Amino acid sequence: MQYKNVSGFDNKEAQQDLREVLGDRLDFAWAAVASTRAVTEGWFPTAYHIKTIVKGHRHLWISSGNWKSSGQSQEDPFNPPLRFNANAFLRDHNREWHLVIDSPELTLQFERFIRYDLDKAKEVQSGSAPETEMPDVFVPTAEPPAPEVEPEFFRPLRLTRQPRVTPLFSPDNFIEEVTTLVTQVTSRLYIQNQYLKPTRQARWRELNEFVAAFSRRPGADFRLILRDLDVQDSLEMMAEMDFDLSRVRKLKNTHTKGILVDNAGVVIGSHNWSSQGFMRNRDASLIFDDQEVIDYYARLFLFDWSRAIPAELSTPEMEPLLAAPGEVIPPGMRRVTWSEFENE
């Protein structure tokens, strides 16, 4: 999982706390990310972005959510505390998609990846702090109000049978497998992610061009949900590629990385829709070829769609601004952390 400082959480302090509790049982290394000072050499360009836990050689957790309060709430909406506000809960926490799996075979595959990454990272530790703290950012608040919808929470889907799944890793096989899945779409394509990032890389550009063409296909059910922070690069790219932007909405605090294709498959995991996420950084997801799983996430997606707002290109004066310490918040703006702005 990622080690960036987020929302008052310092990963270096967390590592020290774990060392105090676990002692020699803690086997730790900073990920081999080229953009940080924590390693002398890195092969993941900008992020070790995987969100995965292996327990006891048979239990596996895969998620879009970082290990922090915005993605891992301490409140249970099905057993709420006193004065629980369902609407505020939905607004203040990230939307994440999670998987908890009991499978020795699948768990072993992910365990091998984690151990490999750990062993290789140990060889390039620099002994320096991971990175310096980034500034806050002012982002616009002037936007249409979110639709009034009845809050809805989704109990976990529990399966006792073995669905068909395909493990996906980047930089190993994600772009190939997801391109194959997406380009077989005939009628329905739902995508929920932070952004769609532009690139000149050929395979990545071709996938975006296909999705753009599908968004304009008459009768096609194309829907795309983006996060409400810093989506202008994505929208400008999509406008240049002639996406049908009327089928694009944005949602506060969505952190999901999900793709749903017809009744053929649903992708669940940590991959941001970018060339770095699909092809170069370390990420992990699964494709489920199972109708019950597809239907479950389709219902969840459509609920989020119902409470999302239109995604429209903003004017230049509405662009985000770096926030100096103690600086007064400008009118029409709000302060967010750099991590929230980067949607990590």
Mean pLDDT value of segment 133-161:
81
Q: Which residues pair with 335 in a beta bridge?
A: 138
Cis-peptide, bond into residue 171, ω within 30° of zero: yes
Mean predicted confidence (pLDDT) in 286-291: 97
Please tell me whether residue 70 adopts helix, strand or coil conformation.
Answer: coil
Query: In the chain, at which residue ranges do the beta strands (DSSP E only) sit?
Result: 52-55, 59-63, 98-102, 136-140, 164-170, 188-192, 221-227, 248-251, 258-261, 265-269, 283-289, 309-310, 321-323, 333-336
Q: pLDDT band for 328, please (50, 70, 90 cuts).
A: confident
pLDDT tens digits for 20-63? 999 989 999 999 999 888 999 999 988 899 999 999 999 999 99
Q: CA-to-CA distance for 244 and 222, rounded, in angstroms?
A: 9
Does 166 have pLDDT greater than 70?
yes
* pLDDT number for residue 86: 92
Task: Give CA angle at 212 (207, 215), nearest 5°.
Answer: 125
Query: Residue 340 has what pLDDT?
Result: 65
Confidence band of 6 (pLDDT split at 50, 70, 90): very low
Residue 154's Cα: distance from chain center in Å?
Answer: 19
Give the model's confidence band at 275: pLDDT under 50 very low, under 70 low, under 90 confident, else very high: confident
What is residue 7's predicted lDDT score, i.e. its pLDDT? 45
pLDDT at residue 186, as a whole number:
97
294-315 burial string, b = 16+ CB within 10 Å, else e?
bebbeebbebbbebbeebeebe
Look at residue 2 in the predicted model and tell me its pLDDT. Answer: 42
| Displacement of CA 143 from its chain's centroid (Å) | 23
Of 171, 255, 233, 178, give the one whose Cα is nearest residue 211. Answer: 178
Q: What is the pTM of this model?
A: 0.88
User: 3-class SS at 224?
Assistant: strand
Distance spanning both ends of the chain, measured CA to CA: 11
pLDDT one-digit tens code per residue, 181-193: 999 999 999 999 9
Q: Specify the higher pLDDT residue, 104 or 276.
A: 104
Q: Where in the chain is the domain with CATH 3.30.870.10?
A: 137-323
Given strand 248-251, what is the order of strands in its sheet? 164-170, 283-289, 265-269, 258-261, 188-192, 221-227, 248-251, 309-310
Assigned token pair, 277:
């996420």
The rounded percent of the chain whose pLDDT value lies above 90 is 56
**What DSSP element (H or E) covers 122?**
helix 104-122
Average pLDDT over residues 103-128: 93
Whole-angstrom Cα Rg for the chain: 20
CATH number, span 137-323? 3.30.870.10
> Of residues 320 and 287, which shows the higher confidence score?
287
